[in-house]
Structure 1
Amino acid sequence: MVFCTVTFTLTNCSNDENLEPSIEVLNPLENPENGPAAGNPDGDSPIPAEAGTEDVTNPDSIVGDGTPESCTCDAVVDAVAKGGKITFDCGPDPITIIMDKTAKVFNDANRDVIIDGGGLVTLSGNGTNRILYMNTCDPDQVWTTDHCQDQDHPRLTVQNITFADGNSINETEYDGGGAIWVRGGRFKAVNCRFFNNVCASTGPDVGGGAIRVFSQYNNLPVYIVNSTFGGMQGYGNTGSNGGALSSIGVSWTIINSLLSYNKAIGNGGNPAQSGTPGGGSGGAIYNDGNTMTLTVLGSLIEQNEVIAYGSSIFFVSNDHSGNIRIDNSVISNNIGGSWYPVYPSISMHSDTPIEVTNSTIE
């Protein structure tokens, strides 16, 4: 899939032309449609069927009527609220849709929510807003079971799409997740790019510059497939912990993906050291909680930065369960931090099982 282009289009559903990005974050990217392609170009690990793209041949909603002007954030918000299979018809050229409000999944609308950008669409928070939100335990999005923390739906898939300039710094109740915040059901991202997204810059237990996830159904993994987080200087994602990805008690399987130039900029770790605000762990990936696994296949993790621990990966299981598996991957040239008991740039308990095959970690 080819993403790179010199075409640039912006549409905005806001009447407020004076919105200014927070001084705590970088200015929005000038041309977010540009930048590195989705995925690790050298990644060739097999992709399980359940981790692949979803069929959107017969969409339930089409954003746009064939023109760039018809593709607005209101149209995206309405489509996501209805759920189902969502595609875009914004014309033949790449387009950036400015999201000045968050698109939110309603738990009673459709068991499946599939957002497919066709390789042409960027959703931009414009440096001021989170882009996408799903939470099975948020009553405002409708409770559908008496066990909201462990239900099998909605099943949210984002594919063939770019998320840029998301910002959740001003979110207080559900913090972290600059581009996407998810709790419950299932979530996966396939053939996606995440550029310049940010969340809170300090705090011991907040993170996910791009994505933050909680409570996946039956402890099944989040799949991240053929996707790019950062990828080059100026495109990386930033948060207190987990510059790209953050979770508590969630398993991840990351396949043929590129995570680079992401930063965990908090300070003091978790729990926060005396006199510090806490955070700064997991330059690319931050996994905390119990009974979880991290699987990295065919992926490249490099040039991520950290203040405290785990310049590439922070994986701490409170009950010392779970494991890490790394195959056919390269983890190198990550910067900063300490506490690397087994492999450089990976912070973990020394008794955490870790299996590394056909990989370079340096």
Structure 2
Amino acid sequence: MFIMAGLISCSDDESGKTPVHNPLANPADGPPAGNPGASYPIPAIATPEDVSTPDQVIGNGTPESCTGQLVVDAIAKGGKIIFDCGSEPITITLPETARIFNDASDEVVIDGGGLVTLSGGGVRRILYMNTCDQDLNWTTSHCQDQDHPRLTVQNITFADGNSVSEIEYSGGGAIWARGGRLKVVNCRFFNNICASTGPDLGGGAIRVFDQFQDQPVYIVNSTFGGAEGYGNSGSNGGAISSIGVSWTIINSLFSHNTAVGNGGNPAEAGTPGGGSGGAIYNDGNHMTLSIFGSLIEQNEVNAYGAAIFFVSNNHTGNIVIDQSTIRNNIGGSWYPVYPDISMHADTDIAVTNSEITD
């Protein structure tokens, strides 16, 4: 099945919008960040944060000076964090999950300068933020709806994160976030995994709950997988997964991610559940999934939504797709309107200037 829609386009010089530079493009270092050739305009709120005056600098110019423990300690303190590890790409394996403390700093920016990969070593989650976790110090009783921490990760790669052993806060092999705000710009996510079965957990790379005032998570110029051997994997949402969260995805690439659960949600009799949303798993009530200038291809599922699983339980959520391509995703069923997108038949979906091919 092939569908092409074209109604609306946006100019690159639209007021308040600027292009985003992509520093992660070394072929020897894995697929580059972002959808190649995409130029959808970026709203100012979704551009990289200014780190010209950092609060913390990890390293003193050599690879040896950039240790995993220094990264963990710096993230615990918060603020704007950059790296000085030399002029060559470097992978820093963390000895434990880096945790963001709610009372350390309202703004947390982690900027890898296009050279840094943070690794979980295949045994641990890389980054954890949770405004409702008392171990991270509560700052308000309304923890699910507070404006901080405002976390931005930019110009950095997250690889080999693993949250399989996490029980209470499952999902999110690379990043688990709740509350405050999350923004991802010029990033790559390679070979991150979470639990492989379960009807309502997932996000091989990222899992998100509650954002301040229901504002969206921005994913800009970023790559999840990108080539064979680099994909992320989880029970649902091979790349990203959320409950009650809106996403705005711009100029990004999702490929070779897998939802490996089995039986859907609720789980079919005799199955452990899961297997929906090869790239994206979006569940909740009133929420919006916006996809602009992005490519979603060659993701795979066992249950529903080879590319996207979107279920608005009260039928108030909506999907917006513009200047994007969804193609060659594998498996799944329950496609009432568009191939590769599982949703209720009455979900409000607007597709413009885009191609969707099964």
TM-score by length of 1: 0.92
How far does residue 4 in structure 1 lie from its aligned partner after superposition?
4.8
1:338 counterpart residue number: 333
Q: Give, in whole Å, the separation in 2 of the partners of 1:221 and 1:129.
A: 27
For 1:268 and 1:188, locate their aligned partners in 2 and report how far apart those are by CA, in whole Å.
32
Which residues in structure 2 correspond to 1:68-87 (within 5 Å)?
Answer: 68-87=63-82
1:125 to 108, 111, 120: 120
Q: Does 1:272 align with 2:267?
A: yes
The answer as to whether partners of 2:24 and 2:155 remain within 8 angstroms in 1 is no
Structure 1 position 294 matched with structure 2 position 286: no
Is this contact kept in 2: 1:264–1:281, CA < 8 A?
Answer: yes
* In 2, Cα distance between equivalents of 1:45 and 1:281: 28
Q: Give the % identical residues.
A: 74
Question: Which whole-Å CA distance do the structure 2 matches of 1:157 and 1:94 have between them?
Answer: 21
Q: Which of 104, 108, 118 is residue 113 of structure 1 equivalent to?
A: 108
Identify the residue that residue 235 of structure 2 maps to in structure 1. Answer: 240
Aligned residue in 1 for 2:314: 319
**8 Å Cα contact 1:224-1:257 kept in structure 2:** yes
CA contact (8 A) 1:100 1:128 kept: no
State the SS of the aligned residue for 2:229.
coil
* Superposed counterparts of 1:3-152, under 5 Å: 3-5=24-26, 34-152=29-147
Q: Is the CA contact 2:23–2:186 (under 8 Å) kept in the aligned structure 1?
A: no
Return 5+ residue gaps in structure 1 as ranges. Answer: 7-32
Q: TM-score, normalised by structure 2?
A: 0.93
CA deviation vs aligned residue, 1:97-154 (integer Å, no higher than 9, x gap): 0113100000000000000000000001111010000000000000000100000000
Please say if residues 23 and 155 of structure 2, whose CA atoms lie closer than 8 Å, have aligned partners that are also in contact. Answer: no
Residues in 1 aligned to 2:60 and 2:194: alpha-carbon distance in whole angstroms: 33
Is 2:197 aligned against 1:176? Answer: no
| Structure 2 CA distance for aligned equivalents of residues 348 and 76 of structure 1 | 40
How far is 1:42 from its partner?
A: 2.4
CA drift at 1:3: 3.1
Report the Cα offset of residue 2 of structure 1.
4.2
- Cα distance in 1 for partners of 2:64, 2:161 equals 21
1-structure distance, mates of 2:310, 2:184: 21
Match of 1:27 in 2: none
Cα distance in 2 for partners of 1:2, 1:258 equals 16
**Alignment length, in residue pairs?**
336
Q: Look up the match of 1:153.
A: 148
Distance 1:183 1:100 in 2: 23
Aligned to 2:299: 304
Q: Distance in 2 between matches of 1:112 and 1:186?
A: 10
2:205 aligned with 1:227: no
Q: Structure 2, unaligned stretches of length 5 or more? A: 1-21
1:252 to partner: Cα distance: 0.1
Query: Do the aligned residues in 2 keep the contact of 1:68 with 1:95 (CA within 8 Å)?
Result: yes
Does residue 252 of the first structure (1) align with residue 247 of the second (2)?
Answer: yes
Amino acid aligned to 2:81:
I
